[in-house]
Every structure is written in C-alpha cells, then in structure tokens.
Amino acid sequence: MEPNSRRDFLCSATAVGATLAWLTRPGFAAANASPPAHSALSAAKATIAPFAIEGDTLIVPAGHYRVGGGRDVRVTTAARLAVAPVDVETVKDEELKLSSEKPGGFFTGTKLAGTLASSIGALGSLIEDSIALRDAAGRPLRRNEDYLVSAPFALLGLAPQSRVKPADTVFASYAFYRQRIDLVVVDARSVPALVPGTPHVATPPIPAAPAGSTAIATVYRPFGARSLAPAHVFPITATAREAVTATTRGRVPKTLAKLHRGEPVTVVCWGDSITVGADVAPGDAWANRLRTALTARFPQAALTYRNHSIGGSKSAQWLNNGEFGNLPKKDPEKCRFEHVLAGKPDLVVMEFLNDIVFNEDVLERTYQTIDDAFAARGIEWIIVTPSQKMPSEINLAEMKAAEVRVLDSFLQRFADRQGHALADAAARWRHLYREGIPYFALFANAYNHPNAFGHGLFVEEILRCLED
C-alpha cells in the first residue's frame, strides 16, 4: 500500500479526488533518508541547511540536493527568493448580533465569519488591535464598555453595562491573518524558483510543482509571521515511504481469519471527535474510510461496522458513565463502555487524542481495565496513537521537534506488553516536516481536527495492522 504522500496533500487540501484516491497514488519524490521517526530529535537539530535567510529572502546555494530514491537535484546558480509577507484579509462592517455570554474558550460568544475555520475561529488569526464595532446609527462602540473580545478564537460578546442589547444589530470591522505555503522548486535548467501558495485561514494547499521541476522545500507563512525565520522553512528531506513507525502486523489474527473466510465480522471504532469525523466530510473521516477499505479488500466478508465516539470525551470517562475527576461531564446515557461491548465486536479500533491530559498512572489503570474486559470477551484491539494538535502558544518549533508524547510512548509500551496491535499514526505526523508538510496546516478547524489528508494518515497505519 502506498503511503499518504505530499502529492496527496495537494489533492486533499483542495478537495480534489475520490475518497480513497490517496491509497493508489505514488509517493512524492523528496530528499535525504530520515532517521527513525519515533526517535527523539530536538528542534535545534532540525536545521534548514543548506538554505539561508536574509531578511525576507530565502537563499538557495548552488550545489546538489538529494531527493527521494537517492537522486540528486542540481542547482547550478544560487538564487535569492523573495518571500511575500504573511497574508492579511480585512473585513468591513460585518453584520452581527452580540452574545450576552462573556466570550471565551472555543465557542462561547459571537464568532467572526472571516476567521472561521469550520466550526471555530482559527487560533491566533484575529489581529486584535484591528477590531472596531459600530451600532446601526454609525456610532462607535467602546471596547470593554459596550463589547468584550476574546482574541485567541476570535469571539465577541456584550459587556455587562453595554448600551447594546442582544437583539441589536452591530457592524464589525477587523483584520485577520491567513496561512500560506510556498514551494521552492528547481526547474529543468537547474535554476531555483519560488511558487507562491494560495492563502487560507486553516488548510492552505501546497502549490503543485510546474512541469519539469522538482520540489526541494516549502516555506510556511503562519499567522502573525512578521519576518522569515528558520522555523518557516521545511527542506524536503524524506518521502512518505521513509517514515518509520511502530505500527505492528500480525496481532489481530482472529479477525483477519474471519475476514478471509467470509464470516461475519463486527468492527467497532471508538474514540473522540476525531473518530466522530468532526469538521470533515463523512467520506473523508478515517472511521468511514476504514470501512470502505475493508469492504473493498474483503468483499466476501459479512462486515458489521459501528462507531461509538463522542466529541471531547476521554477513555476514562467511558468507563465511568461520562464522569471522571474534574473533567466536564458527558451524557451518561451515551458515554458508556457497555455500548462498545454490547455488539460483541471482533475488533475494536480505538483513538483518543483527548487522553493526552492523563498521566501514566491514570492511563495504566484505564487501559488495563479495557484490556481485561476485551480479553474476557475475546475482542481484538487496535490502539491508535493520535494525531497532533495546535499548541496554545502556537510554538512553531513543535512541528520539527519530533518529541514523543507521554501518551504515545505509553500506548506503544502497553500494546507491546499486552500483545495488542498498534497503529502508530503519531509517528507519521512527527515525520511530516521531513516531507515538507507543516502539520499546523492540516487542521480543518485550525486547532485539532485533521483535514482529509490527516485522516488518511490514520487509515494508512490501521490498514497495516490488518496486513497478513
């Protein structure tokens, strides 16, 4: 099976191609072979050499650039490529009604349409000082007296003593950033060039390389970038095929045997909002794509497929009917482990990015309880290491740090110790920067919900667990 490649990113980011097209496309030619993706690598080691930066100019020295398959791309003449500033969009007099709730968090308050990345305002996109409101008569409204601003997710609301009422129409003018990814290519004459990308608030596509040219790097322009920095430059130093993950094969033998024999098989997907498929089309969600792929691979099997997932939930809450510690409660009628077990599944595929909040003690108790229940019922288990999320401080270095999270390392150790299958999607995400893909550009909601390409990374690793 071909890995989800940078070429597929070009298609999924622009909503082109069929749901499973990424399964059949070849990997994109990239550069030097990478070290194991699951090893620790400090951001300091993720250099941009041989590229250099002067102001807003990317310097591409003459020389040889290794690309995928051991080929060399030759640059005969050094180039100085001017990188355009970060894109800023302005909005004039957007019509709003202000929420009476104090703005905050992800959702509470009135959202600004320009900053919306699917269901929420894109984190860090609003230029806070630009916001100005007026009433229907044209009179300026006063910040903190008439209205409040929660800048991180671009939310507005009424101040306690505001002259404005919730039913009143007001008009907002503001500016916001959009992300962009430019592409550095070398043409058939061995001359470097910069291909400008198309800005987007959440998922900017990587532009296609012109015919006859080869991509050697991308340049990411994130929100608020005032100058070009090494953190913005992504030399393409590996292909998707070169990603090393801890994904296992051969650990779901009973399920595979039933699939091959054409017997009834029940598969349950279990998880949080990512497993729900939040902020992507149903056909792009990994759980649905997995069902499509299994049906295509095992057409003779009588496959029953269920998805028991709740946005914002954590595994420990399912074991306690929606309650755990000080976490916000979930609906006790829906968030119940009994629902996962009720259909007598042969296989459970489990993903919980939200479990990153737990320490190892809680993880050990929770996953051992699940293990005991599955073992007693003969249920096989694929544990999925989750995707990344946008850090609240928007630290660009995290995309190149390749540090293994506590949750990821625990899940790998637990799966190995107990003999369960592991689909190591997290390692694929950690490898993306070597493929020239800044993973901050993979979030449909500009925060934590992967776009179609990101969901494809899950399917890629899960299907490897189901190989003979």
The helix (run of H) or strand (run of E) holding residue 462 is helix 452-465
pLDDT score of 45 more than 50: yes
| Region 90-118 average pLDDT | 97
Q: Is residue 259 situated within a structural domain?
A: yes
- Amino acid 276 reads V
Domain that holds residue 96: 87-178
Alpha carbons within 13 angstroms on the beta-carbon side of residue 243 total: 31
Taking the C-alpha atoms of residue 94 and residue 173, their distance in angstroms, rounded to an integer, is 6
pTM above 0.85, yes or no: yes
* Domain harbouring 272, CATH code: 3.40.50.1110
* Long-range CB contacts (within 8 A, 24+) of 145-153: 147/98, 148/102, 148/103, 148/109, 149/103, 150/103, 150/104, 150/105, 150/108, 150/109, 151/126, 152/123, 152/124, 152/392, 153/105, 153/106, 153/107, 153/120, 153/121, 153/122, 153/123
Q: Is residue 122 situated within a structural domain?
A: yes
What percent of the chain has pLDDT above 70?
90
Same domain, yes or no: 446 and 313: yes
pLDDT score of 434 more than 50: yes
Taking the C-alpha atoms of residue 137 and residue 134, their distance in angstroms, rounded to an integer, is 8
Same domain, yes or no: 286 and 196: no
Same domain, yes or no: 313 and 408: yes
Same domain, yes or no: 349 and 285: yes
| Residue labelled with tokens 């905050």 | 104
DSSP state of 200: B
- What are the tens digits of pLDDT across the range 193-215? 999 999 999 999 999 999 999 99
Q: Is residue 17 situated within a structural domain?
A: no
Same domain, yes or no: 124 and 249: no
What percent of the chain has pLDDT above 90?
86
